Amino acid sequence: MSSDTRRRKAAKIRHLLETEGESVHENTTHFNEERYDAVEEFDDYEAVRAEARAIKEDAIERLPELVETLRDSVEENGGTLYIADDAADANAYIGDVVDEAGGDTVVKSKSMTTEEIEVNEALEANDVDVWETDLGEFVLQVADEAPSHLVGPSLHRTTDDVADLFNRYFDPDEPFETAEQLTEFARDYLGDRIRAADVGMTGANFVLADSGTITLVTNEGNARKCAVTPDTHIAVTGVEKILPSLSDLGPFIELIARSATGQDISQYVSLFSPPTNSPTLDFEDPEAPAFETDGDRSFHLVLIDNGRLAMREDEQLRETLYCIRCGACANSCANFQHVGGHAFGGETYTGGIATGWETGVNGIESADEFNDLCTGCSRCVTACPVKIDIPWINTVVRDRLNHDHDSSEFDFLVEGLTPDEEPARLDLQKRAFGNFETMAKVGSKTAPVSNWILDSSPIRDGMDRLMGIDQRRELPSFRRESLVDWFAARGGNKVRSTDRTAVLYPDVYTNYVLVERGKAAVNVLESLGVEVIIPDVPGSGRAPLSQGMIDTAESKAKQVTDRLRRYIDAGADIVVIEPSDLAMFRRDYEKLLPARAFDMLSENSYEVLEYVFGLLENGAEADALSNADSRLAYHSHCQQRTLGLDAYTEAVFERLGYDVITSDVECCGMAGSFGYKSEYYELSMDVGSTLGDQFSDATDRTIVASGTSCSEQLTDLLSSDVKHPVEILAPDGR
């Protein structure tokens, strides 16, 4: 990426942070908090999630068969099913249907699939008036803007914004001021258009194959009106929305509103098997029975392929098709919460899962602009009601983008000189961050000279221009004596134990930069009677994986397991200080290693405070640890939270009598190399400001963080030293 491109990206993000950030943050964090509450109160949540996932897996596997069943059902009901290969095919068919209906006016309910095929533009090119009847979409239509969120398309706008917009556009006698006034106006204005429309167009959240039933899940009731009022109804939806039958629908109705907005159920869940017996109101005669129809209604179900069937054949993108478009992945994502979908999105789709959708339906280049905004923290995986591994999809697409460069005859020279498994034309910034381990080894061997050189202005300036490493960040300072060297020089372990042996994994940062926390971990473990070993083991592959360098990460994963296998076979536990490395062992390696190797490492690896907690629970003497520094402000790492391990640190501090306040901020904004990148520095600091605000009153406490990134960010935010929990617990303070 050129420095101009980085500057353009940074400027766009800065603009969105200033103009839309506040509203996006308020709305997405509200949805996210409501989701947490709704899920906590829903006893069967995990079981229903698993059921929904299984239904989706089965439905996508059986998709061709379900399409044919659905075709029979729709035709039996008197409707027509059309499979559109792509947007142009869909728009041509829809145009013909509107034409046949003598349609001048189409009313629509909210549908991301119709955004994808740009049906409004296609109809308007043929002089058809198209009206969005969802309030958020109506706002966007008036403002001529793209949606910024899958569920709340205009959540980047405040009520005041919308009032200004409507006052300018509609010039009412009395200016609009409140949300109620705006909603009332829109309801009446759009109600007139629905009554007068020739064609109603809806999406469909779910389509039931064996009955031809479509399900609409909304909060405004406008979708039902669009479906049943005009004589012609066109439902446009992705081919992946088919479920086998009504008995499969329940889990999704339980999950979709809870995941999207935290409601137990949406205001309207409408099931139709059109065109028969759909209730229509005679607005000229409101007293007439609601269920009388004139029998002259037509229904067209347009199922969009537009790349979906190819996604089904793509082992890595297939999971995207399980998505029910609830938006929870966006609401739970710290970067999205701050900058919104106008930066974190492609041509149509927004949020974490947008990478999968955009790659599948609009082409991989549409994912290129925003794919790096996923930092791989994995919080969206626990938020997703159908358990999609969204970060992995982002990583796979990043990897494909890395390979998507033209080759040159000199590539062999670059490939021969780089320590990774990646193509020659890999972006320089990605290559630098992905090979941090090599840089750290060289930096350590040549320290302190390496640190002086890296810190010099000309070098920082060059790194900023060539690699986009932001000069506002302090670079890590390499230690001449690595943790592995220190451990060997002290003569190895000081405790011999027949009960418990731990391999302290020397992650790259602990080994070459934050050596003190490694020494503290040795001290803590030995004080609790554990025999410690620190072998020379390669980096986990976290750094290359974060840059989409999957082949390099896979090679590291194999080296790490090969190196650790003999210790595990001999009965040792693997103890890990850095949560993102533990996440590799417990989660990401599942994608990189054979199942047996993954099981071996994941089942025998522990986060260091999780391990300490286990030792204390099993009789180790808490008195052996320090409780001298009694007032702490603690921030856990996002991967630690995703793995459900943050409670162990808090429990150990509590047991030892520390006075601790804990941050409830889920992301510090740094996310490994993300906060170092010049195009994302301001976003990183904006995300971090929430954490900084929480701890700004805690200056009389020792700031403690479990992750390297969190420590770096907190140091920058608070200009304060930050310690790892093991440094607090180490008996002699080291």
In the complex, the residues that contact ligand SF4 under the rule CB under 6 A are 150, 259, 323-329, 353, 383-386, 388, 390
219/327 Cα distance (integer angstroms): 15
- Cβ proximity to ligand SF4: between 367 and 616 the closer is 367
- Cβ proximity to ligand SF4: between 216 and 328 the closer is 328
CA 299 vs CA 133, 276, 295, 699: distances in Å: 19, 9, 12, 65
CB of 324 to ligand SF4, least distance (A): 5
105/34 Cα distance (integer angstroms): 38
CB of 329 to ligand SF4, least distance (A): 3
What does the angle CA 352 – CA 353 – CA 357 come to, to the nearest 5 degrees? 135
417/359 Cα distance (integer angstroms): 32
Beta bridge partners of 268: 218
CB of 384 to ligand SF4, least distance (A): 3
689/683 Cα distance (integer angstroms): 10
Name the amino acid, one letter, at 370.
Answer: F
- Cβ proximity to ligand SF4: between 234 and 361 the closer is 361
CB of 386 to ligand SF4, least distance (A): 5
Indicate the burial class of 169 (C-beta count within 10 angstroms; 0-12, 13-18, 19 or more). Answer: exposed
- Cβ proximity to ligand SF4: between 10 and 328 the closer is 328
Q: Please state whether beta strands 129-132 and 501-505 pair in parallel, antiparallel, or not at all (unpaired).
A: unpaired
What does the angle CA 57 – CA 233 – CA 306 come to, to the nearest 5 degrees? 40
CB of 242 to ligand SF4, least distance (A): 16
Tokens of 702: 């020792």
- Cβ proximity to ligand SF4: between 156 and 473 the closer is 156
- Cβ proximity to ligand SF4: between 186 and 326 the closer is 326
Contact 134, 232 (CB under 8 A): no
Please tell me what DSSP assigns to residue 350. B
What does the angle CA 642 – CA 477 – CA 491 come to, to the nearest 5 degrees? 85
- Cβ proximity to ligand SF4: between 123 and 150 the closer is 150
CB of 382 to ligand SF4, least distance (A): 10
- Cβ proximity to ligand SF4: between 352 and 518 the closer is 352
Q: In 3-state terms, what secondary structure has residue 637? A: coil
- Cβ proximity to ligand SF4: between 240 and 305 the closer is 240
User: What phi and psi values does residue 151 have, to the nearest 5 degrees?
Assistant: -105, -40
Contact 615, 726 (CB under 8 A): no
CB of 332 to ligand SF4, least distance (A): 8
- Cβ proximity to ligand SF4: between 15 and 591 the closer is 591
CB of 352 to ligand SF4, least distance (A): 6
List of residues 6+ apart from 44 with CB closer than 8 A: 254
CB of 32 to ligand SF4, least distance (A): 11
Please tell me what DSSP assigns to residue 229. S
Q: In 3-state terms, what secondary structure has residue 202? A: strand
CB of 236 to ligand SF4, least distance (A): 19
602/583 Cα distance (integer angstroms): 9
CB of 468 to ligand SF4, least distance (A): 29
CB of 239 to ligand SF4, least distance (A): 16
- Cβ proximity to ligand SF4: between 329 and 615 the closer is 329
Look at residues 601, 606, 490 and name the one whose alpha carbon lies nearest to residue 556. Answer: 601
C-alpha of 105 from chain center? 38
Q: Sign of torsion, CA 301 307 312 318?
A: negative
- Cβ proximity to ligand SF4: between 230 and 385 the closer is 385
CB of 115 to ligand SF4, least distance (A): 15
Q: In 3-state terms, what secondary structure has residue 60? A: helix
CB of 350 to ligand SF4, least distance (A): 9
- Cβ proximity to ligand SF4: between 259 and 690 the closer is 259
Tokens of 103: 């349609």
List of residues 6+ apart from 733 with CB closer than 8 A: 626, 628, 727
Name the amino acid, one letter, at 81.
Answer: L
Q: Which residue has the tokens 């991967």?
A: 639
CB of 24 to ligand SF4, least distance (A): 16
- Cβ proximity to ligand SF4: between 349 and 512 the closer is 349
C-alpha of 622 from chain center? 39
- Cβ proximity to ligand SF4: between 56 and 108 the closer is 56
Tokens of 48: 């229903």
CB of 322 to ligand SF4, least distance (A): 7
List of residues 6+ apart from 383 with CB closer than 8 A: 32, 35, 259, 328, 329, 331, 332
Q: Which residue has the tokens 């990148």?
A: 677
Please give the sequence-ordered ranges of beta strands (E in DSSP) within 69-148, or none if there are none: 80-84, 105-108, 129-132
Please give the sequence-ordered ranges of beta strands (E in DSSP) within 92-231, or none if there are none: 105-108, 129-132, 199-202, 206-208, 213-218
- Cβ proximity to ligand SF4: between 146 and 661 the closer is 146
Look at residues 709, 712, 731 and name the one whose alpha carbon lies nearest to residue 721. Answer: 712
